[in-house]
Amino acid sequence: MKAVGLIVEYNPFHNGHYYHLQTSREAADADVVICVMSGYFLQRGEPALLPRRERTEMALQGGADLVVELPYIFSSQHADWFARGAVSILDQLGAGSVCFGSEQGSIEPFLNLFDFLQARRTEYGRRIREYSSLGYSFPKAASLSFQHMAPGAHLPDLSQPNNILGYFYTKAVNELGSSMRLQTIQRMTAGYHDDQLSGTDISSATSIRRRLIGNTGAPETVEQALPAPAYRYLRNYLHSGSPLFEWEKYFPYLQAKALTLPASWLEEIYEAEEGLHHRMQSVMKRNSTFHEFMHAFKTKRYTWTRLQRFATHVLTGTSKAEAAAAMETGQADHIRLLGMNKTGQAYLNTIKKQVDIPMISSLPKDKTPQQKLDEKAAAAYYLPLPPDERRDRWRSEYEQPPLFFES
């Protein structure tokens, strides 16, 4: 069976995701679509709007055959580590190709870009350090450095977010020595960061989340942007009284940690550097909402995304030592199964003896460093729930089998 791999967040699953999934299957002529999906906290340092089990269900309804989890240490990371973790899982699962959405829309420029930056990596690194020393954030420093090297119009524009991820997927496949083929699909209509619904069937996940949160979870406000099964699932989820998980609900817990724990503890949190922990404590005292806090916390040197990731690591209590242990091998050390259909199940049966790392459906008693962080992420993610629901959700992390979807 031929498999294509997708690296996703589905926050939430919308028409653009459905298009990408179906078009990737066709482009790869694949029998199986494998989705490596972020779990509790996402690449931009945000809690997932819906729990991972609910997003798994929406993915399977949308045509995915197998959904597995991207561990926390990779899902809440900058693009390089995010890509590396996800690609390592797809490689272990025997995917013949990985297909990503991009603004560029064709794969050859990404292959040329990798060669271009590899040949100039010393100069590129030096220029990034120079721009960073002037107070620019890392993404801005990298973008300016890239432009300074006169890459030419034939290479992808690295100011575009999906092109950036595409480059790091290309880099990960090469650095891991994977035989997976790289493919890309042109991103449709809405930009990654667009915060308003487009008025067409394709809107960004950012705009959908903003509309749902701003309208207290009214699903009809985003119906046009979601496939019918995903919309029905979201509507039923919200009408049952289940919550949307967003940063404001975590702010009291983040505030409690920042204001009651000593600065020496915060300094040991992953991604605490250059006095960020002191700044967090100072700013936290003067703000009463997460949005206000972030506006005050934001600096020229650090992007909103970078600071949200730091806040996530404070919330989960992820230390530098724990992160270093979890990233030691540079790859995922397990595959956590979230859901599948009959096709996905059949595929697993054909490749399971070829997989070199454990495939699990719940966290084992003796946990690896990556699994320990996943456990902490789950505990933090469900904090906004009432105590009984929180207890039930924590228990389900260990007792529920992977979803099985019968189409």
CATH of the domain at 73: 3.40.50
Q: Is the pLDDT of residue 195 over 60?
A: no
Rounded to a whole number of angstroms, the distance between the first and last alpha carbons of the chain is 19
Task: With respect to residue 52, please indicate whether it lies within any of the assigned structural domains.
Answer: yes
Q: Are residues 78 and 219 in the same domain?
A: yes
State phi, psi for 276 to the nearest 5 degrees.
Answer: -55, -35
Query: What integer pLDDT is reported at residue 192 of this predicted model?
Result: 47
Q: How many domains does the chain have?
A: 2
Q: Are residues 238 and 336 in the same domain?
A: yes
Report how far residue 198's alpha carbon sits from residue 302's, in angstroms, rounded to the nearest whole number.
Answer: 29
Q: Are residues 12 and 85 in the same domain?
A: yes
Q: Is the pLDDT of residue 201 over 80?
A: no
Q: Is the pLDDT of residue 196 over 60?
A: no
Residue 89 contacts residue 8 (beta carbons within 8 Å): no
Please tell me the pTM assigned to this model: 0.93
Report how far residue 137's alpha carbon sits from residue 213's, in angstroms, rounded to the nearest whole number.
Answer: 29
Average pLDDT of 43-62? 96
Residue 179 exposed, middle or buried by CB count within 10 Å (0-12, 13-18, 19+): exposed
Q: Which residues are within 8 A (CB) of 62 and not within 5 positions of it... i.e. 6 or more apart?
A: 13, 17, 18, 21, 227, 229, 230
Annotated binding-site residues for ATP read 7-20, 101, 162, 187
Task: With respect to residue 274, please indicate whether it lies within any of the assigned structural domains.
Answer: yes
Q: Are residues 382 and 338 in the same domain?
A: yes
Q: Are residues 262 and 224 in the same domain?
A: no
Q: Are residues 190 and 230 in the same domain?
A: yes
DSSP 8-class letter at 193: T
- pLDDT by residue (tens digit) across 252-307? 999 999 999 999 999 999 999 989 999 999 999 999 999 999 999 998 889 999 99
Q: Are residues 394 and 283 in the same domain?
A: no
157 or 47, higher pLDDT: 47
Q: Are residues 347 and 241 in the same domain?
A: yes
Task: With respect to residue 175, please indicate whether it lies within any of the assigned structural domains.
Answer: no
154, 168, 331, 338, 357 from 175: Cα distances, Å:
23, 10, 11, 27, 19
Task: With respect to residue 29, please indicate whether it lies within any of the assigned structural domains.
Answer: yes
Alpha carbons within 13 A on the beta-carbon side of 155: 17
Of 290, 325, 360, which residue is a domain's last? 325
Query: What integer pLDDT is reported at residue 189 of this predicted model?
Result: 56
Residue 407 exposed, middle or buried by CB count within 10 Å (0-12, 13-18, 19+): exposed
Average pLDDT of 1-15? 97
Query: What integer pLDDT is reported at residue 290 of this predicted model?
Result: 97
Q: Are residues 223 and 268 in the same domain?
A: no
401 or 396, higher pLDDT: 401
Task: With respect to residue 162, please indicate whether it lies within any of the assigned structural domains.
Answer: no
- pLDDT by residue (tens digit) across 104-153? 889 999 999 999 988 888 988 898 888 888 878 888 888 888 888 877 77
Of 308, 325, 342, which residue is a domain's last? 325
Range of the domain at 275: 247-325
Query: What integer pLDDT is reported at residue 190 of this predicted model?
Result: 47
Annotated binding-site residues read 7-20, 101, 162, 187
